[in-house]
Structure 1
Amino acid sequence: MGLAEKRLAESIKVEKLPAFEAKLKERAGYDIKVDIDWNTFTAYDEYPLSRLEYVFDDVESFVKKICIDDMGKEALQDKISTIHLTNSENNDDVKVELKEDTLFLTVQLVQSSFSYQTDSQIASYVESLL
């Protein structure tokens, strides 16, 4: 990780991540911690970090889809307290998985193309487990 990646990661940690967690709390009605495996996003160059906002948008949208009413908010709160984001260079690793109270999202934001779960895919997966 070079200086540019370190600066961008720090900017996301200090500015964008707290704002993102505040949006999730507004949508869900409770605190959802977002845990990012920073080493998987900074091991390459700035590109994966610059694409993280797309993942944030889809995660916020999935929470909005689930939390359209009190029943959805309560169901989500019973199942998810943390969202863990990991980046992989291998497209085959892309997945969404709920273990205990953590939603694990593995995305592929490296290279010229990228792959991650859309808001609808995440919502469909989580909703089936609520």
Structure 2
Amino acid sequence: MGLAEKRLAESIKVEKIPAFEAKLKDKAGYDIKVDVDWNTFTAYDEYPLSRLDIVFDDLESFVKRICSDDMGKEALQEKMSTIHLTNSDNNDDVKMELKDNTLSLTVQLVQGSFSSQTDSQISDYVEKLL
């Protein structure tokens, strides 16, 4: 990881994640922690880090979908308190899992192709588990 990646990661940690967590709280009505495995994002170059905004947008939309009413808010709060993001250079690693109050998403933001879960895919998956 070079200086540019370190600076961008720090900027995301200090500025974007707190703002993103505030948006999630506004939609869900409770605190949702966002945990990023930084080593999997900064091991390459700045590109995967710059794509995190796309993932954040899909996550915000997913939370908005689930939490459209009090029943959804209560159900999500019972099952999810953390979102954990991991990046991989292998498209076959892209997956999601809701376990132990953590929604773990593995995305592939490294190469020219881009693979992550859409808001509707995340919503469909999580809603079945609530």
Distance 1:30 1:89 in 2: 33
Matched, 1:62 2:62: yes
Count of residues in Structure 1 that have an aligned counterpart in Structure 2: 130
Q: Which runs of 5+ in 2 are unaligned?
A: none
Which residue number corresponds to residue 96 of structure 1? 96
Q: What do you get for the CA RMSD once the two structures are aligned?
A: 0.3
One-letter amino acid matched to 1:47: Y
Written as runs of structure 1 = structure 2, the 5 A alignment for 1:101-112 is 101-112=101-112
What SS does the corresponding residue of 2:125 show, helix, strand or coil?
helix
Deviation at 1:121, TM superposition (A): 0.1
Structure 1 equivalent of residue 80 of structure 2:
80
For residues 62 and 33 of structure 1, the distance between their equivalents in structure 2, rounded to whole angstroms, comes to: 15
Q: Distance in 1 between matches of 2:27 and 2:40?
A: 28
Q: For residue 16 of structure 2, what is the amino acid of its counterpart?
A: K
Cα offset for 1:22? Answer: 0.2
Displacement of 1:100: 1.3
The corresponding residue for 2:15 is 15
| 1:37 lines up with 2:23 in the alignment | no
Distance in 2, Cα, partners of 1:76 & 1:45: 34
Letter in 2 for 1:50: S
Q: Secondary structure at the match of 1:106?
A: strand
Q: Normalising to structure 2: TM-score of the pair?
A: 0.99
Residue identity opposite 1:42 in structure 2 = T
Deviations for 1:67-99, whole angstroms, at most 9, x for unmatched residues? 000000000000000000000000000011011
User: Structure 1 residue 54: deviation in Å?
Assistant: 0.2
Unaligned runs of 5+ in 1: none
Deviation at 1:118, TM superposition (A): 0.0
Correspondence 1:123 to 2:129 = no
List structure 1 segments (4+ residues) > 4 angstroms apart after TM superposition.
none
Opposite residue 78 of structure 2, the aligned amino acid is: D
Distance in 2, Cα, partners of 1:50 & 1:34: 17
Deviation of 1:59 after TM superposition, in Å, equals 0.3
CA separation in 2, counterparts of 1:67 and 1:19?
19
Normalised by the length of structure 1, the TM-score is: 0.99
